[in-house]
Structures are given as structure tokens and as C-alpha cells.
Amino acid sequence: MNPKVDFYFNDAKKWQEELKQLRMIALDCQLTEELKWGTPCYTFEKSNIVLIHAFKEYCAFLFFKGALLNDTDGILIQQSENVQAARQTRFTNRKEIVDLKAILKTYIYEAIEIEKAGLKVELKKTADYEVTEEFQKKLDEDKQLKKAFESLTPGRQRGYLLHFSQPKQSKTREARVEKSIPQILDGKGLND
């Protein structure tokens, strides 16, 4: 147990018993407990294996390379269509965790083997993402904007492309593009 992580479990307003149960499962698998992104993260030889999350409606194990796991028990969830590698297992009570303890350990051990083998999730390339008509028009009109966008990291580019493509109405897409131009020109990502 890492004392730097204790606060997460001790101060939890909801899911306290469930979170502690998930912690014990991860530690039973000989993973190293760390604090990353403000939450407990469990690693094997410095590689992220699983993260514990607490949300309003549920708590969860998040497997970083869950897309590569053989989900034979059908317990993994892709949080949204844009999540490529990670998969969650969600819980709403302690009994669910206790009932799945052996299966969760099996998934953790499989995730460790995936790390040992050096397997990687094949991520979509930036070129695979749609460039909305509204953004393409701005890129064609403004060479400085185009150069600034192309200078962004692939992850930041994908973030903008997803953000611009989500609205159904052209007017909303256009507003998002306009609002983001100053940040793109400053070399910043969507949430920087």
C-alpha cells in the first residue's frame, strides 16, 4: 500500500467499501500502487495496468489496454465510441466486486502478460478522423491556422477534430471552430 493514495479511500464520500475492495484485488496481484491523475493507479514494472475510478453512479476498474483483453466473461465496457484502448468494469455495490474477484484477478494477470509481451493497441491515426467542412474551410482560408494546427501533437489534433465533429448543426460546429482558433494559434490543445 502506498500511503500517498490512502486519502482517496479514506475520504471517499461514496463507494468507500467498494473502492477498498478493488484496492485489495489490485494489491493481491502484486501490482505497485501509485497516485496518477489524482486516482489510484496500479502498475507492473512502471507500466499502467489498472486504475480505480469513483463516479456518481458507479465505481470502476479501468484497464488501460482493455481492448486487448479476452473479455470472455463480458464484463468490460467501452466508455464511449472515442475511447480506443481502455475498458472499464463498473460496480454499484460491494457484492458485485466480491462475486467477480477471481475473474478480475484473471483479467489483471492477463493485462500483465500483455505488458510483458509488449503488445500495443492499434490506435486510429489523425488522418482517420473526419475534418468537418467548417474547419476545412478555415484551414483553406488561413495558412497560419493550418500551419499551427499541423504543428500540434497528434493527440491535440484529434481532440479538436472530435470536438468539431460532435455537433449535428453546422452553426454549432462553426462556433466551436471560431472559439478554438486562438488556442490553436497559441499551440494549445482543447483543454490546455
How does pLDDT run across 41-95, given as a tens digit for each residue? 999 999 999 999 999 999 999 999 999 999 999 999 998 777 889 999 999 999 9
Handedness of CA 111, 113, 118, 121 (dihedral sign): negative
Q: Which of 158, 155, 153, 148 is nearest to 183 (CA)?
A: 148
Model pTM? Answer: 0.73
What does the block give as the cell for 44? 507492473
* Contact (Cβ atoms closer than 8 angstroms) between residue 66 and residue 76: yes
Q: For residue 159, give the H/E element and its range.
A: helix 154-165
pLDDT of the chain along its 192 residues, tens only?
A: 888 999 999 888 899 999 999 999 999 999 999 999 999 999 999 999 999 999 999 999 999 999 999 999 999 999 877 788 999 999 999 999 999 999 999 999 999 999 999 999 887 788 778 899 999 999 999 999 999 999 999 889 988 998 998 899 999 999 999 999 999 999 999 888
Residue count of the chain, please give it.
192
Kind and range of the H or E run holding 63: strand 59-63
How do the domains of the chain map onto residue ranges? Answer: 3-116, 126-185
**Assigned CATH topology for domain 3-116:** Aspartate Aminotransferase, domain 1 (3.90.1150)
